Amino acid sequence: DTAVSQTPKYLVTQMGNDKSIKCEQNLGHDTMYWYKQDSKKFLKIMFSYNNKELIINETVPNRFSPKSPDKAHLNLHINSLELGDSAVYFCASSQVPGGLQETQYFGPGTRLLVL
């Protein structure tokens, strides 16, 4: 019944490794997002896809690459992990942006720790 789910919930890895985080939503939404919440608790948008098409690509290192195989899934792949990548990554979804009602629904977050 979970609306937006993320796996894994926790991820501890060594610097230099490549890792992926998966996100799935069963709300039938057209738009999905990835956010990063740093140690100071600020949430910043990284990417957004609408119907598998990239619509937001913030200033994020090329090591981060989103992939949307279908509109219910948005995965985040990170190459050559660095210490500064340690954060909580949240996936979210909403109806088509620009609508008058576009509440975003968030997943539980993936806590990434790079050692």
Partner 1 sequence: KQEVTQIPAALSVPEGENLVLNCSFTDSAIYNLQWFRQDPGKGLTSLLLIQSSQREQTSGRLNASLDKSSGRSTLYIAASQPGDSATYLCAVRPNDYKLSFGAGTTVTVRA
Question: Which residues are near partner 1 by CB under 8 A?
Answer: 4, 31, 40-45, 48, 55-56, 58, 90, 92, 97-98, 100-109
Q: Whole-angstrom Cα distance, residue 60 to residue 39?
A: 17
**Residue nearer to partner 1 on the CB measure, 21 or 92:** 92
**Amino acid (1-letter code) at residue 37:** Q
* Least distance (Å) between residue 31 CB and partner 1: 8
Find the shortest distance in angstroms from Cβ 88 to partner 1.
9
Instruction: Give me the amino acid identity at 10.
Output: Y
Closest to partner 1 by CB, 56 vs 72, is 56
Secondary structure (DSSP) of 97-114: TTSS----EE---EEEEE
